[in-house]
Structure 1
Amino acid sequence: MKMSSLRSNSTTIIVLLSLVFATLSGQCQGGDVPLEVGFYKGKCWTADVEAIVGGVVRAQFMKNPSITAALLRMQFHDCFVNGCDASILLDGNNTEKTAGPNLSVRGYEIIDAAKAAVEAICPGVVSCADIIVMATRDAVALSGGGRYTVQTGRRDGTTSSAKNVDLPAPSISVSDSIKAFAKKGLDATDMIYLLGGHTVGIAHCSLFQDRLYNFQKTGKPDPTMDSSLLTALRARCPPNTTVDNTVNLDQNPLSSMIVDNSYYRQIILHRGILQIDQELALDPLSKPTVTAIANGFDFSTKFGQAMIKLGAVQVLTGEQGEIRGSCRATNKPSK
């Protein structure tokens, strides 16, 4: 073979290898792109990233359907503090996990399992922030809610601090709640639908015990609470007990594990558990919307739309953030 042909062939091989490495690098690092539906299509060869995550969630759901409430809470607690960057997943002293409101957050093992599954197929490509959003969507669908289409392309944050955790308290007023959500780019209607996640949630007695015995330091129960519910909750949550029991936020026993509009029907009947739940049905700022949702048939669609908006709060994309190898630890070298 002539030397000119060898040089030509060598040059061709080098160019091809360069293109391959450039493609792989692009898959791992991402570009300056916003969130989009189907972001991972083609980035893990023929693998369907969303299907992989969905398989993990389905397996976990079959064992414990309450993971839907856990994942909804996780996504909310993550996105409401510094945006949807998976900072709630980071282990360590004084991370978001250690803050009081997050001590009862659960479901981390589901995200770990989903991350391990996608890493086994295409390492360094799928963010933990995206996994939270995909997993939550899948759990909602498994619990009877509509299957909304998620956008992906988030990157993971590199810092997490307990002092940044400033989540709305269960006793917050409707007007203050609207203001808190507005700071995240979410309007009053978004807030009302997102609180509808309580349709599958639970609450510890300590979060509403004042409503049962000493509402606003009156020495009496909350007068807005249904009397039969008050009796039942007092039996479940006796005073001066060392056991912090839990109750369903949707007091319809036939619907407390289903993502639907039953929660709104219950709070209209004065059967709300948390103070903010009941106030939604009473405050003029939210009452008309609550009534419309309770009597409507499009909750799943509107709830999905609100979850999509929540998932877009202060996201990191492009060259911002990182793609963690482990959702519990940042790739950033320790000092």
Structure 2
Amino acid sequence: MASKSTLPLFLPLLPLFLQILIPNSHSAPLSFDFYAASCPAAELIVANTVRSASAQDPSIPGKLLRLLFHDCFVDGCDGSVLLKGNSTERTDPANQSLGGFEVIDSAKSVLEIFCPATVSCADILALAARDAVAVAGGPATQIPTGRRDSKSSSAQSVRPNIVDTSFTMAQMGRIFSSKGLSLLDLVVLSGAHTIGSAHCGAFSDRFESDSKGKLKLVDSASLDPNYASDLIKKCPAGGDTNPKVTVANDPQTANLFDNQYYRNLVARRGLFQSDSVLVDDERTRRIVEEMAGDQERFFEAWSESFVKLAGIGVKTGEGEGEIRASCSAVNGVV
């Protein structure tokens, strides 16, 4: 396999545009040196935790990145997806397959030793997802911190805000727009599918059973036939109910954060329906082709869009949230 550059791409102009990228007019903005005095080792501790966990389990980066998406799209980047309990976000079926919680808990445990009651779980999750990308070979992105943790979490908030893998372009566009994200952000952040894996049920809508019980493509124009055949072998009829069977989002470079995802889309090898529609729409197809042809451009765009993602609906004032002692429970609740 050809080696790919993992040199960090820092964005020195980000601070100048922070107020645009992270609208937060009702409270103090996030900052790039938030823990400089209170916990200077905070980012290093999170990075080391992610690096160690990923070395033991290559699936960790994809899990952490997905965990951040599911947190930020539902009531903002406030760590609400981390809370346990009846009727919390974690209980919704869309979140049943989320992973990486143990990495966040591990980082939090260390931080509570060195900097008690200082670093929020929301910040730990944002930093962990950022570091997960770098560990997997993607760009090292500077992100501001200062998020506070939500005091509540509701399963009812999940479905209206999460993008389903069967969504159309219009459905995805509406949700991204409601979060302050553009079509460019939609295409770039979909690049997260360059790592990670999915259960068969996440793309079972693309197939149907014939009279003999064998699977066949619903839309033969949406997938390369050889790729579709490979998916059927890995997920035969009835396989979508087996939680132990997973398929890599990107079969070429499954654990490497690169622009192969976009090359797959151009070759009609997008795993999800929500991937394939990106090349069916004129507005997004040109962006897909641009990212497929220039990995450095993808990395640059990723860093910009990731900062926007990690700034959705953040809570920063004392009245807006808290610093949890445990990421799985609000303060005062065992």
Bucket of the pairwise TM-score, normalised by the shorter protein: 0.7 to 0.9
Equivalent position SS for 2:261: helix
Alignment of 1:119-198 (within 5 A): 119-166=112-159, 167-198=162-193
Alignment of 1:329 with 2:329, yes or no, is: yes
Q: Which stretches in structure 1 are left out of the alignment for 5+ residues?
A: 1-31
Q: What is the distance in 2 between the residues matched to 1:85 and 1:63?
A: 28
Per-residue deviation, residues 23-42 of structure 1 (Å, max 9, x unmatched): xxxxxxxxx52101121001
Question: What does residue 222 of structure 1 align with?
Answer: 219
Q: What is the distance in 1 between the residues matched to 2:270 and 2:286?
A: 16
Alignment check: 8 A CA contact 2:123 2:146 kept = yes
Q: Given residue 290 of structure 1, which amino acid in structure 2 is its aligned partner?
A: V
Q: What is the distance in 2 between the residues matched to 1:65 and 1:38?
A: 30
* Range moving further from structure 2, 135-144 or 201-210: 201-210
Alignment check: 8 A CA contact 2:217 2:228 kept = no
Per-residue deviation, residues 241-277 of structure 1 (Å, max 9, x unmatched): 453421111131xx11111110000011011110011
Cα distance 1:220–1:293, how it changes in 2: closer, same or farther (>3 A)?
A: closer
Question: What does residue 42 of structure 2 align with?
Answer: 49
- Identity of aligned pairs, percent? 41
Question: What does residue 201 of structure 1 align with?
Answer: 196
Per-residue deviation, residues 50-95 of structure 1 (Å, max 9, x unmatched): 1111111111111112111000000000000000000000110110
TM-score (normalizing by structure 1): 0.85
Question: What does residue 239 of structure 1 align with?
Answer: 237
RMSD value over aligned CA atoms?
1.7
Question: What does residue 277 of structure 1 align with?
Answer: 275
Alignment check: 8 A CA contact 1:265 1:294 kept = yes
Q: What is the distance in 2 between the residues matched to 1:240 and 1:57?
A: 35
Equivalent position SS for 2:290: helix
Alignment check: 8 A CA contact 1:174 1:286 kept = no
Q: Given residue 164 of structure 1, which amino acid in structure 2 is its aligned partner?
A: S
Alignment of 1:210 with 2:202, yes or no, is: no
Alignment of 1:309-320 (within 5 A): 309-319=308-318, 320=320
Q: Given residue 226 of structure 2, which amino acid in structure 1 is its aligned partner?
A: S
Question: What does residue 297 of structure 2 align with?
Answer: 298
Task: Give the superposition deviation at 1:220.
Answer: 4.8
Alignment check: 8 A CA contact 1:34 1:318 kept = no
Per-residue deviation, residues 77-133 of structure 1 (Å, max 9, x unmatched): 000000000000011011000001100000111000000111101101100000001
Quick one: which of 257, 260, 271 aligns to 1:259?
257
Question: What does residue 40 of structure 1 align with?
Answer: 35
**Number of residues of Structure 1 aligned to a counterpart in Structure 2:** 297
Task: Give the superposition deviation at 1:333.
Answer: 5.8
Equivalent position SS for 1:302: helix
Alignment check: 8 A CA contact 1:212 1:233 kept = no
Q: Which stretches in structure 2 are left out of the alignment for 5+ residues?
A: 1-26
* Range moving further from structure 2, 76-85 or 274-283: 274-283
Alignment check: 8 A CA contact 1:146 1:304 kept = yes
